[in-house]
Structure 1
């Protein structure tokens, strides 16, 4: 069990950025798919999504979120000791997107900067990684950038977003509790099989096929095993939430808000009901923003809770789960954090 507690780490602030373009799962689809889309929207709960233009990268959204956060925190750039980027949408295969953003953001050469290849579970893992560096004493202030460019106009599930989170050393900070897990036996449930060294991209991978609705599908499109993901999420997440609560010596009613990865309505409602939580305890952004991969937890905080969390201290539980397969949870206090309004870039 990868249970751990970090001390002296304060959640200083967070900023989220989405593209301006809004896609409707009902309006922006071929007429032949309208009835099927209506049924799908009822099941997955996603009506609109955000999509980047072709020229815009995840890093552009993360850059805008970081600039806004640094300005409102009034942090000096020479104070930033670490920059961690969690994404599966890098600018290039190499070099690291974090290295590029270190220079683009004007951070000092002494800033530790590197990428982490994780998707839907990435936010708790990233918080633990950066928090551990701060707790160890080598880093005083650090930035965690998470998100992806994964939207496709024909895919009703995914949306684009980039976010920035600031953590800092504080001797008065409440402890952060973590539970992080992986099960690589299920790696085929969510994957892009083409383009790595196992199966390099070749000429024949550039030939699409057309489905019954006339939609083109490419060999390097995301492969998603829906039933396997549903089973994994609904079986793994509720026990993991119970486990971290027990580890932290907390009752369910000690948590003000439970923020789950925004996978789809069926998965999230099953998890909520298994845990006996109310709709008010589990804010959702699925309807308006879809599945933004590792950014769903920050997006939900920004879009649904920023005004509430700005008042007094609140204890929240974050749960991310998905690609890998992997799942992680974090319990932390938010007290006096800087939470700017959602940015549309």
Structure 2
């Protein structure tokens, strides 16, 4: 278990961007799936999702969120020393999306920029990665851009989003506490099997089959083992949260909000109940935004906690979990001067 503490790192701001187009899981589905979708929405808690236009990439959403955040912070572009992009939806297989966004955002060439290939667990890992660089010295201000373009008309779970978070060096900042973990033995539970060197994408991956509802399925498409993900999430996350609280010597009552990756209602309700948390302390955006992969933590904070966090300092426990398998949590204090611009719709 990777328990650690970061000092001298201040959480400065956060902005989120979602596509304008909304998909309704009850209305935007084939007629033969209507009754099945109604049951599914009741179980997973997701009715509306956001989906990019064909011309939009994740980086376009992240760009808009970053522009909004920098304007709110009144940071100058030349002040930024690092740009980390966490996504599984890069513009290209190569070069990294962070390098492209460094130039597009007008950041200095002295800024270090690179991608991290993580999904639903990515946000706490990103905070730790950039925070460690700042705590080590040299880097004073940096950005983490997190999100994915993963929505489709057919799949009722995923939604598109891009987010930006700003961290800066501050010798008086309260400590941040982390618990980061991975278990590669379960990598097949959530995966894109084709397209890498282990299984190169070929013509056979373009030949669809039909499921029991007559809908097309592609052999090379994203695969998710629902029961395995449910078991992993509900068994690993609650003890990890308790372990982090114990490590930080912080009782549950001292945490104002617990923000979990928005997987689905069944998973999130089970985690909440295992931890003995009230509904009021665990904000959710599942109904309105679906599962936005690594962006779900900042989307939930932006959409549900923006006003509360602008009034006074709050303690947040953030927990992401998913592909890898990987799971990570962060306990941090957000002061009333942190910038939280309104949700950007593009």
Aligned residues: 345
CA distance in 2, matches of 1:280, 1:293: 23
- Per-residue CA deviations over 1:148-170 (Å, capped at 9, x if unaligned) read 00001100000000000000000
TM, length-normalised to structure 1 = 0.99
Q: Which residue does 1:299 correspond to in 2? A: 299
1:203, distance to aligned residue in structure 2 (A): 1.2
Deviation >2 Å, runs of 4+? none
Pairing 1:56-71 to 2, within 5 Å after superposition: 56-71=56-71
Q: Which residue does 2:271 correspond to in 1? A: 271
Q: Which residue does 1:145 correspond to in 2? A: 145
Pairing 1:12-91 to 2, within 5 Å after superposition: 12-91=12-91
Pairing 1:1-345 to 2, within 5 Å after superposition: 1-335=1-335, 336-345=337-346
CA distance in 1, matches of 2:153, 2:68: 28
SS in 1 for 2:193: coil
CA distance in 1, matches of 2:221, 2:289: 21
TM, length-normalised to structure 2 = 0.99
CA distance in 2, matches of 1:129, 1:210: 43
SS in 1 for 2:38: helix
CA distance in 2, matches of 1:340, 1:221: 35
CA distance in 2, matches of 1:105, 1:219: 37
SS in 1 for 2:281: coil
CA distance in 2, matches of 1:106, 1:100: 10
1:54, distance to aligned residue in structure 2 (A): 1.3
SS in 2 for 1:29: coil
- Per-residue CA deviations over 1:92-121 (Å, capped at 9, x if unaligned) read 000000000000000010000000000000
CA distance in 1, matches of 2:107, 2:215: 44
CA distance in 2, matches of 1:226, 1:328: 20
- Per-residue CA deviations over 1:44-72 (Å, capped at 9, x if unaligned) read 00000000011100000000000000011
1:220, distance to aligned residue in structure 2 (A): 1.8
1:214, distance to aligned residue in structure 2 (A): 2.4
SS in 1 for 2:318: strand
CA distance in 2, matches of 1:104, 1:59: 10
1:218, distance to aligned residue in structure 2 (A): 1.3
CA distance in 1, matches of 2:52, 2:209: 24
Q: CA RMSD in A?
A: 0.5
1:212, distance to aligned residue in structure 2 (A): 2.3
CA distance in 2, matches of 1:30, 1:93: 33
- Per-residue CA deviations over 1:290-324 (Å, capped at 9, x if unaligned) read 00000000000000000000011000000000000
CA distance in 2, matches of 1:43, 1:82: 41
